[in-house]
Copies of this chain bind each other. A is one copy, B any other.
Amino acid sequence: MRGIKHLAEHLGLSIGTVSRALNAKPDVNPETRKRVLAAASALGYVPNQSGRSLRQGATNSVGFMIEAGDPSGNSDTFFMPVFDGVQQVLSRHHLDLVVLPCSAGEDPAQYLARTVARRQVDALILSATRRQDDRIALLSKARLPFIALGRSETAGNYPWIDLDFEGVATRSVARLVAAGHRRIAVALPSKDLNLGFVYLKGYRAALEKHDIAFDPSLVLRAASSEQGGYQIGHEILSMANPPTAIILHYELLAIGLYSRLHDAGLVPGNDLSIISFRESPISRFLSPRLTCFRLSLRELGVALGEALLASMPKYAEHYPQGVVQRVWPMEMVVGESDGPAAAASDYRS
């Protein structure tokens, strides 16, 4: 894989001929050109990126920024299938995905500024959006095409796709109310992630619709992790007037919460009704099975890739959808972790 020299040697042709064939110059015999292209493809030949990038102003790479200490905790099982979907779209245009992991200790906006200055990528996908996100202004100013996985309150007509946090919270509360629950808690992320605000908004709207007063003591904040779920369980067990149900913005919370209830001899769905967010491979193996919401992460990745290409002048003609701003739907999966309010035992005793 030494590039054009290796390719020329392999074919027994001069570098000049191979170069002219690759660049579709008219003075190359069509049969030769066909042979060169076939060999280039078979050998995985790709032009020297540094030289080409200076000439064309393109790296043929798209960056996906993630955070090593991702405060959503989503790094766990979320991103890999999304990468796969994005990559599938990019490969149609001979673009490659590179993942840019921002260290836990580094400011995401500063990290991104460095990446932009290095011109490492032609376009970017952001994740873990904050309520006010400095990275959006930075990319707009740098005129680097991007899409955000997650909304933000930062102004601007930029593309985004976000999971339906609001709708999920609303539907979860509605289901619990229909089962007779009135004291419904909500678990929120401890950091400034926009998804926490959106989820809370859906929760409050549903309470209001069902004439249930908002009780700030039922808003429980914790790290989006197993440990955070354990702490939430602990907090609920120590409350004078505990909830009979809780909705979770993140699936790993359920693992710790189940564990804390189990330690106390309590059963999810019986002593405390739980509705979780995203269905994950683990949710099927929890006992009792989690009630949660399903989506295809691969399809989400495909949609992200296509919406990003729609915002890049070079590819927009193939993706005429304009500036995509889309809430991604999720389908409820009914498990056994929630039940009628009447069943809730008084675990304060």
Measured CB to CB, the residues of A under 8 A from B are 1-3, 43-51, 53-54, 59-61, 63, 68-70, 75-77, 80-81, 83-84, 87-88, 91, 96-101, 103-104, 110, 113-120, 138, 141-142, 225-227, 230, 252, 255-256, 258-259, 262, 281-282, 284-287
Contact = CB atoms under 8 A, between A and B. Distances in A.
A68 B100 CA distance: 15
A44 B114 contact: yes
B113 A88 contact: no
A46 B91 CA distance: 29
A1 B54 contact: no
A258 B54 CA distance: 56
Given A226-B285, A287-B262, A96 B114 contact: yes
Contacts of A284: 226
A84 B60 contact: no
A163 B91 CA distance: 34
Contact of A259 (B84, B113, B287): B287
A120 B287 contact: no
Contacts of A46: 114, 117-118
Contacts of A101: 80, 83-84, 87, 97, 99
- Chain copies in the assembly? 2
Given A230-B285, A252-B281, A256-B285, 18 more contacts: A1-B117, A1-B141, A46-B114, A47-B118, A50-B50, A54-B54, A61-B120, A68-B81, A68-B87, A83-B101, A84-B103, A87-B101, A87-B103, A91-B103, A96-B114, A99-B101, A226-B285, A227-B281
A119 B230 contact: no
Given A81-B68, A84-B104, A101-B99, A50 B119 contact: yes
A285 to B, nearest CB: 4
Nearest to A61: B120
A142 B68 contact: no
Given A84-B68, A120-B49, A1 B285 contact: no
Nearest to A103: B87
Given A1-B113, A49-B119, A259-B285, A100 B103 contact: no
Contact of A99 (B1, B48, B100, B287): B100
Contact of A59 (B1, B50, B138): B50
Nearest 4 pairs of A and B residues by beta carbon: A99-B99, A44-B113, A259-B285, A49-B118
28 contacts: A1-B113, A1-B117, A1-B138, A1-B142, A3-B117, A46-B117, A46-B118, A47-B118, A48-B117, A49-B118, A50-B54, A51-B54, A61-B120, A63-B98, A75-B77, A76-B76, A80-B101, A83-B101, A83-B103, A88-B103, A98-B100, A98-B120, A99-B99, A230-B285, A252-B281, A255-B285, A256-B285, A259-B286
